[in-house]
Amino acid sequence: MRVAFRTLGCKVNQVESEQLKEEFIRQGYEIVDYDREADIYIINTCTVTHTSDRKSRSAIRRAIRQQPGAVTVAIGCLAQVNPEQLEAIEGINLVVGNDQKENLPSIIRDYMATQPMTAEVYRGSFARDSGLKTVNYSRPHKRTRGFIKIQDGCENHCSYCIVPQARGPVRSKKPLQVLEEIERMLELGYREVVLTGIHTGLYAYDITDWDLSRLIQEIFEQIKGEYRIRLSSIEPLEVSRPLLDIMASESRLCRHLHIPLQSGSDRILKAMNRRYDRSYYRELLQRVQEQIPGIALTTDIMVGFPGEREGDFQQSLDLLKQLPVYDLHVFPYSLRRGTVAAEMDEQVDEAEKHRRSKILIELGKELKQRFINKLQGQTMQVLIEKKIGPHLYQGLSDNYVPVQVHSAKDITGQFITTTLRVDGIPLRVDNKS
């Protein structure tokens, strides 16, 4: 039988879809592209914003229109938080929450055996001690970069965020499991592995005597060879000195940290329940930059949080101009029912959110160009990811800058040490030597 996947949202969702594909293949199914005819369509949904909800529903309806006789299954965060919304879509067969996602092949098999007349919903509560399964990667990929989920869940309860309801409490993959998955990925040809999670910095919160920095140190001690490790987003309060010490001394740990800010206003940060202030964040980034020269620091910034006035927005703008930031991910606030912020007064209208977003996006372009310009003449190791033209290849530096390299031979998947020349095009560094 043929199975097609459509995945929305974060890298964790992407990893979980890959994990499910591995399991379906192991059980004899064929994985096909989403726009092809399939017997089963699986939509891994996202609910972080109302736009995510809309895109998830649209993907489900597209599958139903494309192949009315197929089994259409919604899984993921929207299925966990609001299964009723998806169950109401005419033609849907199964709605499976995150807590049941790993059991999906057997759930679908049972459904197809009984063929009930109405949609079925599988959703329960998360168990802190449930643990995370090891993924037995078996399929080689053309991609050079792979992702491993090292933890799930979040307990920060930021006032705007629905993720704790969608993902449950913090659960970490055991260190040995992580090592096994990395070794398998390297055997399959990956050269870079990204450690990701819903709250990556809280890895091993539930494992005695371990934390993220110890895991990374163990990876480099146990796994030899030419590869590199990259971290996904990490919260400001979890950027530890041991972690920075490893990054400063170990060339295989990429010089790139994504540290969400969300707001530059202390008043708004407090309302968001973010547990740090603008001074802490500024000093943190300055310390990181001093200890790790050339590091790429990227961040999230939200506009239009309830009660955010023009003065608060200007504080965010002013702070960002001072920070050694390479890239901004700008998000307009999206009301999520069931969160504290949804009940707050002074909801900001959409036009004002759009105006503020546009200003920050333009600032982000300036910050990006400022960072790239500093790379002129630097020698850097680049992992070549793909061919983009005759004798022209594109790769990524360890500090997250796209690099183009001319080569008469195929260098895809190789580490290349090269001197960089900035060609003036935003987001691109070109080596013509």
Environment class of 290 (CB within 10 Å of its CB; exposed 0-12, middle 13-18, buried 19+): exposed
- One-letter identity of residue 365: K
Do 129-254 and 280-374 agree at the fold level? yes
How far apart CA 392 and CA 407 sit, in angstroms, is 6
Smallest CA-to-CA distance from 74 within 130, 58, 127 is with 58
How far apart CA 21 and CA 13 sit, in angstroms, is 12
The pLDDT score that the predictor gives to residue 333 is 98
Task: Print the SS3 string covering 286-351.
Answer: HHHHHHCCCCEEEEEEEECCCCCCHHHHHHHHHHHHHCCCCEEEEEECCCCCCCHHHHCCCCCCHH
Q: In b/e form, how buried is each residue of 31-48, taking b as 16+ CB within 10 angstroms?
A: ebebeeebbbbbbbbbbb
The pLDDT score that the predictor gives to residue 231 is 98
What class is the 2-122 domain?
Answer: alpha beta
How far apart CA 416 and CA 192 sit, in angstroms, is 14
List, in sequence order, every residue forming a beta bridge with 405; answer none if it has no partner: 393, 431
The pLDDT score that the predictor gives to residue 313 is 98
The pLDDT score that the predictor gives to residue 90 is 94
Instruction: From the options 3.30.750.200, 1.20.1250.20, 3.30.1130.10, 3.30.1330.40, give the CATH code of 280-374.
Output: 3.30.750.200
How far apart CA 215 and CA 328 sit, in angstroms, is 28
The pLDDT score that the predictor gives to residue 133 is 84
The pLDDT score that the predictor gives to residue 86 is 96
Helix (H, G, I), strand (E, B), or coil: what is residue 184?
helix
The pLDDT score that the predictor gives to residue 141 is 67
Smallest CA-to-CA distance from 418 within 383, 369, 373, 371 is with 383
417 alpha carbon, distance to own chain's centre: 28
Smallest CA-to-CA distance from 263 within 295, 309, 196 is with 309
How far apart CA 293 and CA 178 sit, in angstroms, is 29
The pLDDT score that the predictor gives to residue 115 is 82
- What is 129-254's CATH topology? Transcription Regulator spoIIAA (3.30.750)
How far apart CA 331 and CA 344 sit, in angstroms, is 19
Residue 48 host element (H or E): none
What class is the 379-431 domain?
Answer: mainly beta
List, in sequence order, every residue forming a beta bridge with 145; answer none if it has no partner: 192
Q: Is residue 47 within 8 Å of residue 77, measured between CB atoms?
A: yes
Q: Extract the tokens encoding 46.
A: 């996202």
Residue-level pLDDT, tens digit, the chain, 433 residues: 999 999 999 999 999 999 999 999 999 999 999 999 999 999 999 999 999 999 999 999 999 999 999 999 999 999 999 999 999 999 999 999 999 998 999 999 999 998 887 889 998 777 777 778 888 888 766 689 999 999 999 999 999 999 999 999 999 999 999 999 999 999 999 999 999 999 999 999 999 999 999 999 999 999 999 999 999 999 999 999 999 999 999 999 999 999 999 999 999 999 999 999 999 999 999 999 999 999 999 999 999 999 999 999 999 999 999 999 999 999 999 999 999 999 999 999 999 999 999 999 999 999 999 999 898 888 899 999 999 999 899 999 999 999 998 889 999 999 999 888 887 543 344 554 4
What DSSP designation does 259 have? Answer: -
How far apart CA 233 and CA 330 sit, in angstroms, is 15
- How many beta carbons lie within 10 A of that of residue 280, not counting itself? 14
First to last CA, the chain: 50
Q: Is residue 269 within 8 Å of residue 263, measured between CB atoms?
A: yes
Q: What is the largest CA-CA distance in the chain?
A: 66
Q: Extract the tokens encoding 240.
A: 């530890």
Q: Extract the tokens encoding 2.
A: 């043929």
User: What ranges do the domains of the chain cover?
Assistant: 2-122, 129-254, 280-374, 379-431
